[in-house]
Amino acid sequence: MELPSEYLELLRSSDGGSAQLSGYPNYVRIWSARSAIEQNQAYEIQSCLPGFIGIGDNGGSELVGFDTRFGEPYRVCTIPSMPMAWEDALGDAIDFPTFIRRLSKPG
pLDDT confidence of residue 104 = 58
Q: Is residue 76 part of a domain?
A: yes
Q: Is residue 107 part of a domain?
A: no
φ, ψ for residue 44 (rounded to 5)? 50, 45
% of the chain surpassing 70 pLDDT: 96
What is the number of domains present in the chain? 1
Looking at 37-94, which runs of residues are DSSP E strands?
52-57, 62-67, 75-80, 90-93
What pTM was computed for the model? 0.91
DSSP 103: B
Q: Are 60 and 27 in contact (CB under 8 A)?
A: no
Cα–Cα dist 71/60, whole Å: 28
Q: Is residue 41 part of a domain?
A: yes
Q: Is residue 106 part of a domain?
A: no
Q: Which one is predicted more confidently, 1 or 95?
A: 95
CATH number at residue 27: 3.40.1580.10
Alpha helices in the chain (DSSP H): 5-14, 33-42, 45-48, 96-101
Domain membership of residue 86 as a residue range: 5-101
Cα–Cα dist 104/8, whole Å: 21
How many residues can be counted in the chain?
Answer: 107
Is 106 a residue whose pLDDT tops 70?
Answer: no
